[in-house]
Amino acid sequence: MRLLHSSTEGSDGFALLIVLWVLVLIALIVGYVTSTGRSEIQVAENIAANAAASAAADGAVYRAIFALMDPRQDRRLPVDGSIQEMRIGRSAISLRLFDENDRINPNLASVRLLEGLLQAVGTPAQTAADLADGITQWVGTARTLRPPDALAAEYRAAGLDYAPPETPLESLEELARVRGMTTQMLTQLRPHLTLFGGREPNSTTTDPIVATAVRYASQANAAISGSTPVFSGIGQGALIIRVLTSAQGPGRAVAHSTVIVRISSFETRGHAILSWQSN
């Protein structure tokens, strides 16, 4: 009888131990599921917040476009880089507008204008002249295009295994491939360049570097022709605007966009999106 009682107590203790381990295992599983569920909910909330901020940034772009198209002058937003604040849904938006024709388009600019721009950012005169010529040779706008074989020989002599395509730039980064261009020079030039402006920047540009380049080109051309050309830009027929938006959405979500839009009565909807970058 004593042996049977002892065996029963041992079995009961082992069974209790198993029950305790099962309870611990269940608690761990419940904890894991709860933690995973909370993480998934947080991820879903973050995705929703980012989507809301992104949609608000996009909405601000279209609101700016419609304001620029408003026939009532007093309803239009200023195109001077000043910060415009607005709210869309639960997102706070900062909006800035810039005239793209305040910049220089290397696909269309004259060699004198490019030379003036390079000097304005601190490039030595001879280097600026060589680079300006190199850019116009690269995009095919030089007054006197050198033969492809001669250009290829120049690039080979510089240790480069390619030659100018003599076609317009597809991106500003392509300028880094022009013979003699350095990363530092391109970094200095980028804020003053665009691929969407006209042959000449606005004469009233608010960019002091571009204004210096315009004066240089005017003086250089006057010295050659004996008359002073007027840089007027192409702003009378169409507006080309750079729209910068920054949206602060719910949950501290942030979205930015940079959009280039052309506003013209010749466009089917009154405007055309030329470039749209979001992050």
- Alpha-carbon 163 to chain mean position: 28
Cα dihedral sign, 252-257-263-266: negative
Integer Rg of the chain from CA: 32
Higher pLDDT, 237 or 246: 246
Asked if pLDDT for residue 228 goes beyond 50, the answer is: no
Structural domains of the chain, with CATH:
1-100+235-279 (no CATH), 111-193+200-225 (1.10.40)
Q: Give the model confidence (pLDDT) of 79-95 as tens digits.
A: 999 999 999 888 899 99
Integer Cα distance of 136 and 167 in angstroms: 10
Nearest in space to 178 (alpha carbons), one of 193, 198, 164: 164
Asked if pLDDT for residue 3 goes beyond 50, the answer is: no
Give φ, ψ of 108 to 5 degrees.
-125, -20
Q: Give the model confidence (pLDDT) of 28-70 as tens digits.
A: 776 666 666 667 766 677 777 888 888 889 999 999 999 999 8
By mean pLDDT, which of 87-91, 124-128, 160-164 is the weakest?
87-91
Asked if pLDDT for residue 227 goes beyond 60, the answer is: no
Confidence bin at 140 (pLDDT 50/70/90): very high
Integer Cα distance of 241 and 2 in angstroms: 97
Cα dihedral sign, 129-132-136-137: positive
Integer Cα distance of 195 and 201 in angstroms: 12
